[in-house]
Chains A and B, each alone.
Chain A
Amino acid sequence: MIRTALVLVVLVGAACAQELDFGKSKIDLGTIRRLPVLEGQRFKPFDSMAREWAERITGKEKYHGIDPVDFFLHLRFQPELARKAPLIRLPPAHLAKELGFSEISQEADHVSWDALNGNQAFRTRLQEATAKKEGARTGDDTDILRLANRWRTFGAIAGLEGGFANGAEHRRGWMPFVAPSEIPKPGQIYEWLSPVELDHGGHPPEKIKPIDDALAATREAWIKDDAAAFATASKSLLDAAAALGYPAVEGFAFPGMERMDREIRLNLASPFRRAMWIYFTAFLLGLLSTVFPKSRILWYATLLAALGGLSYHAYGTYERTLLSGRAMIGTFYESMLYVSGAAALLGIIFELIFKNRWCNLAGSFIAVMLVWVAITNPDYMQPAISNLRPVLINNDWIHIHVPTIMTSYSMLGMAALLGELYLVFYVFRGARAASQQSLAKTMFWVIPVGSILAIAGIILGGIWADDSWGRFWGWDPKEVGALIMWLVFMVVIHGRWTGWLRDFGTAAGCVVGGWSLIWSYWGTNHFWTGLHSYAGTSNSTDIPTWLIVATIAQVAIFVPAILRWAKDRGNEPAVVADPPAASPPAKSGAAKGGRAPA
């Protein structure tokens, strides 16, 4: 029912698409999901490809709740209807307005392929953006290029344009599942063919015919909404494709149907999304448990929830690592998931050590935020499992340097968040409250650990750079960013050791350190391209909205805290002289906080 209702929403949006029916609940997509394709230099099930492109085109994992495979097949088999429906996500509002789309409908953030295709402003803008050098493109140019990518891919999938629009109706469109009979020569890209190119794969006609027939039958069954016929036809399509055989390039062979099924399982489970919601629950519970500091049940519940999220996270990481054949640290998306997972894990570990209810709260908050950012920005983050540049995979340093620096990010991020929590509660509780003191102590235990990992990561990065580029330190923006972060935390550590910074000062220092961390992790990519470019961003001076929101929130936290600090000045507890491990943390937490459940 819900599905039908959601479909109605789509239909209302598209005046011309009354017949486009996404409610084909009778048809079982289970078989066609498994169809192996070779796309983006990776063997994957059709399900993954559909998911990836449906998400890129619509900007949502499930646009109006539509199964991505369903979405893809609609594009492919009913292009005449799909082209008129508003399915392509528009760029940010000001750009959409510039292209004249806001005049059509104020609310709609999606546009139909036809409308985009006929938009002269879009074409002009696209030409301009393409003509520019890579370094000279603005954020708007990048958005236009992304829109163009959605538009082109839509056209390719639906078989509306170019080479994919040729041939019989059932043969059109982009769907590379036909393995050619010959393997490529060294230096040539191994590609599978779409049905359009069926005759050029070097296969005898008797092998092509079953595919052709099965494809036609699948299409027909789809259009007629005949579940039984679709099941038979998609099964025979799978068999016919398999009958062509998978010629193996040495070192690049089809991994078998088991892997396809495994990937589909991972796709359907969407562990990171679920983990995010569980982390969010843990965060809410954690907040509650700080409000009711005596409740043991809440403490255990928080811990359990965080563990639950972490186990989903771990499952996803394990499966993804297995499927991609490399550690999950290669792309910006993966690194964000790594940092969030590490933060959640460290939150749990520190919570078990300090038992002060802050660590888990901070850890799950970082986890929620980062996973949310990672999975809701498909354009920027590119969540699909992708091949890394081989130069990177076959280098051991990536597996040593990246985890170290990423763990330091999550550690120092945690220190920063503990600092924020300290400032927030400082307004209400002041510096002398036991909970505040325990928070400060935890914070100052986390900083050196994070700093050690940070400097170790920076040095390991230097060794890697020396190994592959022949220089240890080249004042590259990314290196400089990490160095700034480390220096800020060094100032905090030294300030603390002189007694110059007390608890409040240390917390404020950690918050500043947190901003330097954001700078190192994201800002250097976004603003400091210089000679090098990283992680698919362009040289940009755009200030994103979240940064403005975060800055305002930061000021809102800082101002009352400083006001209270000015009032309480001189009434702060003295600094504990020793570095963190002065006394065993577990015992001191119990002694000081006094609200450990154990």
Chain B
Amino acid sequence: MTSMPSAAASAPSSPPRTDFRRAGGLRLVGRGEMTPVFTLLVGLTFFDVLAFLAFPYLATRHLDSPWQDPSRLAFLGASILSSLVFGLLAGVSAERRCHDPLWFLAGHLGAFAAPVLAMGGFVESSPVLARTIVFGLGALGTILALAWFRTHPRTEPVPTGPILRALGKFFHASGNLWFGIGLLVLLTVGVFIGGWWETYYGGKSARYCVYTSPAFGILFLGFALSLVCATLRKFPFRVDQAGWLTVHSALVMMIIGAFMSYWGKEEGQLSLGEGESTSQFTLDTQTRLRVDEVVSGPDGRARLELVQESIAPFDVNPLTTEPNFVVPVSKGGTKLFDLRVERYFADARPKSGVANDGPRERLGVRAEFSAPRAPVAQEFFVDEQTTGQTIAGMLDVDVRRAPTPEAYSALLSGRDRQGHGRLVVRSKEGKVLLEQPVLPQPRPAGAEMAPARLDVEVAIPETEGLKLLAAVYFDNLRLQQGMTRPFDISPGRPFGPAVGLAIKGPMGDDVRFVEAWYPGSPRQISQRFYDLDIVYEFYTVPERAILFLPHPQGGVTWIFQPSGDEKPRTGPAVPGQELALGIPLRIRTLETFDRLRTWNDFEFVGYNPENQVIRVGVTGDDQPSSDPRWLRLAAGTQTVTKGGRDYVVRWQPTMVDLGFQLKLHDFHRDFYPGSDQERTFESYLRLVHPSKFKEGVDIKIDMNNPLRLDGLRLYQSRFSTAEGEMTVLQVNRDPGLGLLYVASALLVLGFVVVSFQKPFLRSLGRWLDRRGAAPGTRIAAALGAILLSFAGVLPGLLVIMLLPPGPAKGIGVAVIVAGLVLESLWVHFTLRPRLDPVAATPRPATAGVGVTP
């Protein structure tokens, strides 16, 4: 919009030469119709944006297409803009010289060439040339048009064609205030829905499903259409519409800025440990499925070779957690297998389950207990490989497996209840040679952490003079590095019983620690000199405990060991039946497992992307897995076998190049005095940029000083100490931001002008009319009025900038408001009466109805 004709229609300068009327050189058309040049401008703008930007972008949204590349989008945007400017130039010139306004298209040639150039790959290879071609085409078209007008002069205007007229009427109607109000109401409702959506489904989902949804896109495009049409249909513009025009063009700019952000925004994270360097960051908004093949390298070691990487096109959609999106994986044109994304949970919790189809014997019991006064029975699960648990705050429950039938009967009878088990020595063939009970002596006072003494030395039968020396007993053996002697970490509580022993023989002493045989743990067999297998069978039942153990003939038995000298109770554990414990606590077996298999799954928690997982199904796998295959974002892999080769599937955030390299030297944090709150996090980095800092430069990023480089901003966001000190920088790029800031300033200023300076501007307009001011003067006057409002803001801005940080800055806000008020008052009571003495006197109370400003 370079030429902005702005002469009043009723300007009493010179009488029209023909029977048609002009304003600012443009022919005025009938009521309810938009000037043809502007009709073309609006129509082509929307055509270009939809055809060259929106549709290709949406069509290639889930692909690594160059149409997703911000630089290509920027080129197209710039091409559209320059073509519209040239087109407007050509169109207006044509109208002024009574030619067909369709000459607009001559200036607009560049826009049609731009997508062709983009598809040909010129934008990437020679950006300057591509831009020159587009710009040159527009210029050439305009110059040719101007040359044509010179050689073919006309005096009568060309009548507007039916299509252009219809379009003109349509656009005029689109600028209707009712349409605008309707859109405002729709937007209010939409935004309100978005707020509720966010409450239920989280911010990510709200952005995906509401705020960046096609419906919202159409709403914003509609807004842009309404605003642009409302503005252009006001032609010929008057000086007193300056504020109105400013506000509405600012809103159009905001919408353009929002679309630029939508098309070009990149948000992500960058984590760096001290000493590490990187030249990439991870996007928050896009993830990828990556398949690598496991190949053996030249040195014989396995490594991964990329097969395929594709954008994962699903997002938090609360309507379904089943994207059912299929990714065909192929290599060199041959299809390998299909990956189907069956589930996507934004926030998931690992969930495990049990089944009775395990490969090995493993006992597990699921049961429930109800305490005397507890209303609800609670479930518990114990199995052989995990440690037991305490239920109802008083009773230990565990699962054990007796190593031998003798041990089983010993357990059942409670014989060794207070004992410490026995050492069993077996020959290489498995024959029991010796059974020696472990009977520790009381510990001397003052040496509680020392092991209890056993001091037993017996000859091992059927050997050549070997002797077993059981020296010491530990309730809980702890061998700590740096300490010469092992010690007992919890005397009196046998959590990790062990015996220190030696086998004495002709070849010297074989000294070892034998830890207790423990369910689930591998047998402690140590063979150093002598081929003997020594097992420390420790199976005492703690007081007030229930043990489940497999019966040698099948089934599960339970033992309840009460406190005191009462006889232990026992019985079979049958699912659905209660255990006859003889105490108020009631326990009911629910399920028993003898070949327990535990499986891991994920369950849905919520829509906040915290612990994101997907479940993939594979069709065409040679060794199909019975377990569901889960992939956590940026963690974990799944392996698929096909044709004798292994493929590794991963799910990762998209990595984007920074364009430079960063290395973290040091991370530092500082606290507010007397508190545990961090004042700053500071990352000291070395930056190497291929063109700007070739030699590298040392920089610091802290909470108040982001790094701004190449349109990227890197903020100090947080830190993590999980694996050493690691800094987390937030990275973002937002091409629409500059426009947004300019538009914001214009919006507020224009709002002030439109609300409080309308009468003044009207007086100013009349004053200019009386002097027969040229259009240029009028534009200057209108801009001057806006600048005047800005002048009212200036003192406050100065105050804010000059005052020290802190509450005093609030004074600046008050000064801004006061400045605006004073400026308005001055304009009204001093300037306006001078320009327009008659109008400045108060009008009578009756006024016209519904005059749109």
The chain A residues found within 8 Å of chain B, CB to CB, are 41, 183-184, 186-190, 249-252, 321, 326-327, 329, 389-391, 393-394, 396, 399-400, 403-404, 407, 448-449, 451-453, 455-456, 459, 462-463, 466, 469-472, 474-477, 480-481, 483-484, 487-488, 490-491, 494-495, 497-500, 524, 527-531, 539, 574-584, 587-588, 591-592
In the bound assembly, the distance between CA atoms of A592 and B824 in angstroms comes to 22
Residue from B267, B740, B752, B847 in contact with A452 in the complex, judged by beta carbons closer than 8 Å: B752
Known: A251-B673, A483-B191, A588-B842. 15 other contacts (CB 8 A): A186-B670, A327-B806, A399-B806, A399-B809, A448-B755, A459-B747, A466-B737, A476-B203, A497-B853, A528-B199, A531-B202, A574-B849, A575-B847, A577-B847, A580-B756
CB closest residue in chain A, given B714: A470
In the bound assembly, the distance between CA atoms of A389 and B800 in angstroms comes to 22
CB closest residue in chain B, given A449: B755
Contact call A498/B177, Cβ cutoff below 8 A: yes
Query: With a CB–CB cut-off of 8 A, which chain B residues contact A488?
Result: 188
Query: With a CB–CB cut-off of 8 A, which chain B residues contact A453?
Result: 817
Residue from A449, A497, A584, A588 in contact with B177 in the complex, judged by beta carbons closer than 8 Å: A497
Query: Count the B residues whose beta carbon is within 8 Å of the partner chain — how many?
Result: 77
Contact call B847/A576, Cβ cutoff below 8 A: yes
Query: With a CB–CB cut-off of 8 A, which chain B residues contact A189?
Result: 674-676
In the bound assembly, the distance between CA atoms of A582 and B761 in angstroms comes to 11
CB closest residue in chain B, given A397: B809
Verify if B732 is at the interface (C-beta below 8 Å from A). Answer: yes
Contact call A577/B181, Cβ cutoff below 8 A: no
What is the number of contacts between chain A and chain B, taking CB atoms within 8 Å?
Answer: 212
Known: A396-B809, A400-B809, A499-B849. A477 touches B748 (CB 8 A): no
Residue from A183, A327, A581 in contact with B807 in the complex, judged by beta carbons closer than 8 Å: A327
Q: Kindly identify, within residues 187 to 211 of chain B, every residue whose CB is under 8 Å from any CB belonging to chain A.
A: 187-188, 191-192, 194-196, 198-199, 202-203, 206-207, 211
Contact call A582/B177, Cβ cutoff below 8 A: no
Query: With a CB–CB cut-off of 8 A, which chain A residues contact B671?
Result: 186-187
Query: With a CB–CB cut-off of 8 A, which chain B residues contact A449?
Result: 755
8 A–B pairs (Cβ distance < 8 Å), ordered by A: A189-B676, A249-B673, A252-B674, A391-B703, A459-B748, A580-B756, A581-B755, A582-B843
CB closest residue in chain B, given A493: B755
Contact call A455/B747, Cβ cutoff below 8 A: yes
Query: With a CB–CB cut-off of 8 A, which chain B residues contact A448?
Result: 751, 755-756
Q: Kindly identify, within residues 744 to 771 of chain B, every residue whose CB is under 8 Å from any CB belonging to chain A.
A: 744, 747-748, 751-752, 754-759
CB closest residue in chain B, given A387: B675
Query: With a CB–CB cut-off of 8 A, which chain A residues contact B744?
Result: 459, 462-463
Known: A480-B194, A487-B184. A399 touches B807 (CB 8 A): yes
In the bound assembly, the distance between CA atoms of A189 and B805 in angstroms comes to 25
Known: A394-B805, A494-B180. A530 touches B748 (CB 8 A): no
Known: A452-B755, A455-B748, A456-B748. A184 touches B674 (CB 8 A): yes
Query: With a CB–CB cut-off of 8 A, which chain A residues contact B195?
Result: 477, 480-481, 484, 524, 528, 530
Known: A396-B809, A474-B203, A581-B828. A575 touches B849 (CB 8 A): yes
Contact call B207/A475, Cβ cutoff below 8 A: yes
Query: With a CB–CB cut-off of 8 A, which chain A residues contact B853?
Result: 497, 577-579
Residue from A321, A329, A472, A491 in contact with B188 in the complex, judged by beta carbons closer than 8 Å: A491
CB-CB contacts of B809-853 with A at 8 A, as 1s and 0s?
A: 110111001000000100011000000000000110111111111
Contact call A584/B843, Cβ cutoff below 8 A: no
In the bound assembly, the distance between CA atoms of A494 and B244 in angstroms comes to 12
Verify if B178 is at the interface (C-beta below 8 Å from A). Answer: yes
Query: With a CB–CB cut-off of 8 A, which chain A residues contact B817?
Result: 407, 453
Contact call A475/B198, Cβ cutoff below 8 A: yes
Query: With a CB–CB cut-off of 8 A, which chain A residues contact B852?
Result: 497-498
Known: A400-B800, A475-B198, A487-B184. A574 touches B675 (CB 8 A): no
**Smallest CB–CB gap between B534 and chain A, Å?**
47
Query: With a CB–CB cut-off of 8 A, which chain A residues contact B184?
Result: 487, 490-491, 494
CB closest residue in chain A, given B848: A577
Contact call B199/A529, Cβ cutoff below 8 A: yes
Known: A187-B671, A528-B199. A587 touches B754 (CB 8 A): no
Verify if B734 is at the interface (C-beta below 8 Å from A). Answer: yes
Contact call B203/A531, Cβ cutoff below 8 A: yes
In the bound assembly, the distance between CA atoms of A588 and B184 in angstroms comes to 32
CB closest residue in chain B, given A402: B810
Q: Main secondary structure on chain B at its contact with chain A?
A: helix
In the bound assembly, the distance between CA atoms of A487 and B744 in angstroms comes to 16
Query: With a CB–CB cut-off of 8 A, which chain B residues contact A41?
Result: 674-675
Residue from B703, B756, B829 in contact with A579 in the complex, judged by beta carbons closer than 8 Å: B756
CB closest residue in chain A, given B731: A470
Verify if B234 is at the interface (C-beta below 8 Å from A). Answer: no
Query: With a CB–CB cut-off of 8 A, which chain B residues contact A326?
Result: 806-807
Verify if B306 is at the interface (C-beta below 8 Å from A). Answer: no
Contact call A400/B812, Cβ cutoff below 8 A: yes
The chain B residues found within 8 Å of chain A, CB to CB, are 177-178, 180-181, 184-185, 187-188, 191-192, 194-196, 198-199, 202-203, 206-207, 211, 267, 608, 670-677, 679, 703, 706, 713, 715, 730, 732, 734, 737, 740-741, 744, 747-748, 751-752, 754-759, 800, 805-810, 812-814, 817, 824, 828-829, 842-843, 845-853
Query: With a CB–CB cut-off of 8 A, which chain A residues contact B211?
Result: 475
Give me the 10 closest cross-chain CB pairs, A-B, nearest first. A499-B850, A190-B674, A327-B807, A399-B809, A448-B755, A252-B673, A252-B674, A577-B851, A251-B673, A530-B198
**Smallest CB–CB gap between B843 and chain A, Å?**
6
Query: With a CB–CB cut-off of 8 A, which chain A residues contact B849?
Result: 499, 574-575, 577
**Smallest CB–CB gap between A429 and chain B, Å?**
17
Contact call B677/A389, Cβ cutoff below 8 A: yes
Known: A451-B751, A487-B191, A494-B180. A470 touches B732 (CB 8 A): yes
CB closest residue in chain B, given A447: B755
Contact call B706/A470, Cβ cutoff below 8 A: yes
**Smallest CB–CB gap between A519 and chain B, Å?**
9
Contact call B842/A591, Cβ cutoff below 8 A: yes
Contact call A188/B199, Cβ cutoff below 8 A: no
In the bound assembly, the distance between CA atoms of A574 and B679 in angstroms comes to 60
In the bound assembly, the distance between CA atoms of A225 and B286 in angstroms comes to 73
Residue from A190, A407, A472, A498 in contact with B673 in the complex, judged by beta carbons closer than 8 Å: A190
Contact call B267/A471, Cβ cutoff below 8 A: yes
Residue from A190, A484, A491, A530 in contact with B192 in the complex, judged by beta carbons closer than 8 Å: A484
Query: With a CB–CB cut-off of 8 A, which chain A residues contact B842?
Result: 583-584, 587-588, 591
**Smallest CB–CB gap between A282 and chain B, Å?**
23
Query: With a CB–CB cut-off of 8 A, which chain B residues contact A187?
Result: 671, 676
Query: With a CB–CB cut-off of 8 A, which chain A residues contact B809?
Result: 396, 399-400
Contact call B810/A498, Cβ cutoff below 8 A: no
Query: With a CB–CB cut-off of 8 A, which chain A residues contact B759?
Result: 578, 581-583
In the bound assembly, the distance between CA atoms of A459 and B842 in angstroms comes to 36
Query: With a CB–CB cut-off of 8 A, which chain B residues contact A487?
Result: 184, 187-188, 191
Contact call B751/A452, Cβ cutoff below 8 A: yes
**Smallest CB–CB gap between A254 and chain B, Å?**
11
Contact call A530/B737, Cβ cutoff below 8 A: no
CB closest residue in chain B, given A490: B184
Query: With a CB–CB cut-off of 8 A, which chain B residues contact A577?
Result: 847-851, 853
Residue from A186, A494, A528, A576 in contact with B198 in the complex, judged by beta carbons closer than 8 Å: A528
**Smallest CB–CB gap between A368 and chain B, Å?**
24
In the bound assembly, the distance between CA atoms of A583 and B844 in angstroms comes to 10
Query: With a CB–CB cut-off of 8 A, which chain A residues contact B191?
Result: 480, 483-484, 487
Residue from A251, A327, A404, A491 in contact with B181 in the complex, judged by beta carbons closer than 8 Å: A491
Query: With a CB–CB cut-off of 8 A, which chain A residues contact B674?
Result: 41, 183-184, 188-190, 249, 251-252
Residue from A472, A477, A588 in contact with B199 in the complex, judged by beta carbons closer than 8 Å: A477
In the bound assembly, the distance between CA atoms of A321 and B813 in angstroms comes to 17
Contact call B812/A584, Cβ cutoff below 8 A: no
In the bound assembly, the distance between CA atoms of A335 and B180 in angstroms comes to 34
Query: With a CB–CB cut-off of 8 A, which chain B residues contact A539?
Result: 199
Query: With a CB–CB cut-off of 8 A, which chain A residues contact B848?
Result: 574, 577
Known: A404-B813, A577-B848. A250 touches B187 (CB 8 A): no
Contact call A581/B756, Cβ cutoff below 8 A: yes
